[in-house]
Amino acid sequence: MVGGVVKSELYLSRSPLQSWCEPSGRTLPAVLAPWLLESGSLTQRLRDHGEGFALELLGYHDVMLAEDEARWLGEPQARCREVVLSLAGTACVYGWTLVPQRGMRCAALAGQGQTPLGELVFTSGAAQRRELQVATFAVEQSRWCRAAIVWGRRSLLEWQGIPLLVHELFLPGLVDDKESM
């Protein structure tokens, strides 16, 4: 990673347009504010929003962390898990989670596979959200969405003593085209 940017050559190419900041530091689009500020499980919110929830696991890879990420996770390297969350065949959220190497010793995380992170950490009631930041990104056209400017959030979850840095980009498929982003 360069300059705090998680870049995936194989999946969704994205470039930050602003630095991460607290939600109070930005004017959030009304249609996305509830999604950006969600304090519980985004997986559950998506399931409540529509039918046909699906998770596409894109893969795992090891990454060197940017300085701020390393500070949050307490290690210079992490395992990155990338997913796309869809409703009724339409991609709604592109997500990537950074898990410190020590977290991969946890059997539930190491063997997570197709299980949504929200389902894993929020159903036990033990997950705590420590931080929440938002930013906008330019995403290139992909098989999941058209080229667009999208909002994203990152949050630091603590689960079973393991910090998880969760990033979620809200793709155009989440809201109707007629609603203002």
Q: How far is CA 168 from CA 6, 94, 108, 173, in A?
A: 12, 6, 21, 14
Question: Which of the four pLDDT bands, split at 50, 70 and 90, describes residue 117?
Answer: low
pLDDT, average across residues 96-101: 88
- Indicate the fold that domain 32-159 takes in CATH: Chorismate lyase (3.40.1410)
Q: In terms of pTM, does the model score above 0.85?
A: no
Cα angle value 32/26/174 (rounded, 5°):
15
Q: What is the pLDDT of residue 92?
A: 94
Taking the domains of the chain in order of start, what are their residue ranges? Answer: 32-159
pLDDT band at 59 (very low <50, low <70, confident <90, very high): confident
Residue of 20, 48, 52, 8 lying closest to 136 (CA atoms): 20
DSSP-derived pairing of the beta strands 162-170 and 90-100: antiparallel
SS3 state at 175: coil
